[in-house]
Homo-oligomer: A and B are copies of this chain.
């Protein structure tokens, strides 16, 4: 590895950090809210901004059109997927970088202290603005790396490919098909993938993320009367759908968080000593959980148990009921048809069809026990598989070395409890190792008010991404 080049790069970033912040300011100023039709032109504008930046840096840029979207009856054009290539040297490894240029909605009235689309740096050097950390900062991080090399007259140590979408915050519509279509074409030469779209576990230590839980969402419908009934007239004379629904849903999970579906824990991959070790010295405390939740309602008393239940054990949450009374006040109705909503977070090796069938069998047995004359139906409305990469892969080893070099510490090895479906899509479509390499901190408030990216995370994150390229290049790739 050219240590000299890395040092030049690191020095350049440190010295030019204000121009990096200026680039982020320009990007945040474009309110590319994918979930709001009024802002759809801004999402396109943000795509054009990135195309221009990439072209200016010498990238060869193409776009793919994901087509149209039905937005509550209105047809909207989907913003382009931006594909860019920098370097095609067959002697170098090729890294695919994914990011998204759309953002969550944000209004000053939501409680922001400042205008969400004007980047503001506060007294703690936090860069505050919608999209700062999710995901404009990380995307620009890669662009900053390329720019620095151009200005320094240095060649990039790897070939880079970009895949940037504008619909991530709205379900990544159309992207999955494009990835599969391009797997043997545009993405054919890719060796490994890096996604910077999640967060450090805490606020002080970088991490590499190698696993995500899957999710299966269920609708449990109980139906009886033809229409809602008066509880005074019919109470205690008919089978009430709500009573049946509560009887079943109360038997899905214990108040201590343990799933009651027979056989479900038999599917969970046993903890190994090696994995157990990754739960030591993590940048996380029970106080962090209390802070995030705003109350001391932790189920587990240790970081180890807490994070294992977030990352590598299943969970089941009850979300709500459709068809029942939900307004303030009192209403004495017997709802005729109610649909309870719950979801199961899945982990290795819980295969979706088995989870679905164990759940269906158990729910049916609970309903049968009720002796109800109502009808019951369970439907799995969507399922996304868990994702697990090997943190021993050279891609992770390279990233670890880069973290050590830039931050002076070894990164935490983390998973996340939620799903980022595109991660699994890349792994399955390309058959390559995928690394989640976050730039922001755990308290960035990605989807909340006053979203921020610390200046130090943005600057050091850019350094990390660049250094990682050198480590990837230096790796024997085995």
Contacts and interface: CB of A to CB of B under 8 A. Distances in A.
B249 A297 contact: no
A188 interface: no
Interface residues on A, range: 35 or more
Given A236-B314, A238-B299, A319-B325, A382 B417 contact: no
A293 B225 contact: yes
A373 B333 CA distance: 31
Given A234-B310, A234-B417, A240-B317, A298 B373 contact: yes
Contacts of A319: 231, 242, 324-325, 330-335
Given A224-B297, A296-B373, A299-B236, A317 B255 contact: no
A253 B224 CA distance: 17
A294 B318 CA distance: 30
Contacts of A418: 230, 232-233
Contacts of A298: 237-238, 373
B236 A309 contact: yes
A189 interface: no
A225 B289 CA distance: 11
B255 A239 contact: yes
B299 A317 contact: no
B321 A321 contact: yes
A151 to B, nearest CB: 39
B419 A232 contact: yes
Interface in A279-296: 289, 292-296
Contacts of A322: 325-328
A316 B231 CA distance: 8
Interface string A330-362: 111111000001010100000000000000000
A374 interface: yes
A326 to B, nearest CB: 4
A400 B109 CA distance: 67
Contact of A326 (B217, B326, B371): B326
Interface string A23-67: 000000000000000000000000000000000000000000000
Contact of A374 (B297, B333, B341): B297
Max chain B Cβ within 10 angstroms of own Cβ: one of A255, A295, A381: A255
Contacts of A255: 239, 243-244, 247, 370-372
Contact of A318 (B233, B246, B327): B246
A334 B417 CA distance: 14
A269 interface: no
B324 A320 contact: yes
Nearest to A447: B230
Contact of A320 (B213, B226, B331): B331
Contacts of A295: 224-226, 373
Nearest to A233: B417
B299 A239 contact: yes
Given A318-B246, A320-B321, A416 B371 contact: no
Given A320-B331, A373-B297, A215 B232 contact: yes
A225 B328 CA distance: 20
A143 interface: no
B240 A318 contact: yes
A298 B327 CA distance: 29
Given A237-B306, A239-B297, A318-B324, 18 more contacts: A225-B295, A232-B418, A233-B310, A233-B416, A233-B418, A234-B293, A234-B417, A235-B417, A237-B299, A237-B315, A239-B299, A240-B257, A246-B249, A317-B332, A319-B335, A322-B326, A322-B328, A330-B382
11 contacts: A224-B297, A236-B309, A237-B306, A242-B319, A242-B320, A243-B255, A250-B251, A319-B330, A320-B335, A324-B326, A330-B341
Interface of A: 213, 215, 217, 224-227, 229-240, 242-244, 246-247, 249-251, 253-257, 289, 292-300, 306, 309-310, 313-322, 324-328, 330-335, 341, 343, 345, 370-374, 381-382, 416-419
